[in-house]
Amino acid sequence: MKVAHSQGAYEISFLGLSEAFAAVPDGSHIITDEHVKALYGHLFAGEKCISVAAGEQSKSISTFESCLEALARAGATRKSSVVGFGGGVIGDLAGFVAASYMRGVAFIQIPTTLLAQVDSSVGGKVGIDLKAGKNLAGAFYPPKAVYVCAEVLQTLDQRQFNNGMAEVWKYGFIADKDLFDRLTNGASWHARSTQLQEVVKLCLQIKARIVEEDEFEEKGIRASLNFGHTVGHAIEHLCGFKGILHGEAISVGMVAEALLGERLGITELGTREKVAGSLASQGLPTKWDQKWDVPKAVEAMMRDKKRISDGLAFSLLTHIGECKLITGVSCEAVEQVLGSL
């Protein structure tokens, strides 16, 4: 599968893990996290490797700096390649390191979480967090190649797997009724589900099409991927990004935004129930178990860096399989929905 962008195109290949490492250019620098290295380090034992702590805390200026220094110490040149081998944290960090080292060296993604396989490894967004907020420093820096390896998902625990499934369901909700039907008929999905690879491919086709049409998030097309994310980001913010995974926050967010759409007369009635039923069948939360601080949640949405208009903007479903960007939604409408959840 090819993804075109302003400077060329890259291929997403579906490979076994050993094949993927064999395809990586000789002398590449692999950036990974300690957890992934403990599981898969034997596959690249002879290679140059920079390993960082697992978790969001590694998307920091200090880890970014230490990766750049490590590349320099290891003698990396303009011709070197950086391989991000890990989840979305590693993909974002390694991509930004690759974009910055000597003004840019080749970058290859080998995503190891379901979330990274269906979402973060494609689209060229790389970056790190600042104290002032998540993903505030970064670049659009497309990879040279993405290698998707099914077998790595088998070491994810079910919670991390479900975290990625929230984004998988999202693609069905926003863009593909057939995918939604396939997911619905597949009972509960897990890493060994026989049709999982097909589903990952369908998700990547949708993401590739959207990012090709709106590479730099300027036309409102890429914003469609944000279904559930306006409320989801507010939840993550209210929790201080602790205790709740991104997929769990957007799962609650998708239910809330489906209700908002129904209330605004944009979403076909009954959609919220389908969205909630699907996510619950995957073991994902559909309600936030804490009491909403509604004004604080709305304030967080107003501060969201993706805000593009007066009032609030939402990617709302018209029905299952299609969405539409709606701008100028009033804070009152959102407050009412959050208050009634």
Distances (CA, A) of 47 to 27, 68, 209: 7, 17, 34
29, 125, 233, 237: which one binds ligand NAD (CB under 6 A): 125
Region binding ligand NAD by CB under 6 A among candidate stretches 29-37, 268-276, 293-301, 315-323: 29-37
Residue 2, amino acid: K
55, 75, 104, 277: which one binds ligand NAD (CB under 6 A): 55
**Rounded to the nearest whole angstrom, what is the least distance from the CB of residue 181 to ligand NAD in the complex?**
25
Of 114 and 199, nearer to ligand NAD (C-beta) is: 114
Reported as type and span, the H/E element at residue 333 is helix 331-340
Radius of gyration of the chain (CA): 20
Q: Quick one: which of 145, 133, 52, 134 has its CA closest to 97?
A: 52
Q: Quick one: which of 52, 54, 147 has its CA closest to 108?
A: 147
Contact 87, 116 (CB under 8 A): yes
Residue 39 lies near ligand NAD (rule: CB under 6 A): yes
Helix (H, G, I), strand (E, B) or coil at 159: helix
Touching ligand NAD, residues 147-176 (CB under 6 A): 152, 155-156, 160, 163
Region binding ligand NAD by CB under 6 A among candidate stretches 55-63, 182-190, 262-270, 332-340: 55-63
Residue 190 lies near ligand NAD (rule: CB under 6 A): no
Residue 51 lies near ligand NAD (rule: CB under 6 A): no
Q: Give the position of tokens 């208009």.
A: 309
Q: Other CB atoms closer than 10 Å to residue 1's CB: what's the count?
A: 14
CA atoms 81, 203, 254, 301: torsion sign: positive
12, 49, 50, 54: which one binds ligand NAD (CB under 6 A): 54
Residue 312 lies near ligand NAD (rule: CB under 6 A): no
Give the DSSP letter of residue 319.
E
**Rounded to the nearest whole angstrom, what is the least distance from the CB of residue 79 to ligand NAD in the complex?**
25
Touching ligand NAD, residues 88-107 (CB under 6 A): 88-90, 92
Q: Quick one: which of 273, 275, 225, 268 has its CA closest to 246?
A: 225
**Rounded to the nearest whole angstrom, what is the least distance from the CB of residue 81 to ligand NAD in the complex?**
19
Touching ligand NAD, residues 217-276 (CB under 6 A): 246
Site residues (vs ligand NAD, CB under 6 A): 33, 35-36, 39, 54-56, 59, 86-90, 92, 112-113, 115-116, 119-120, 123, 125, 135, 152, 155-156, 160, 163, 246
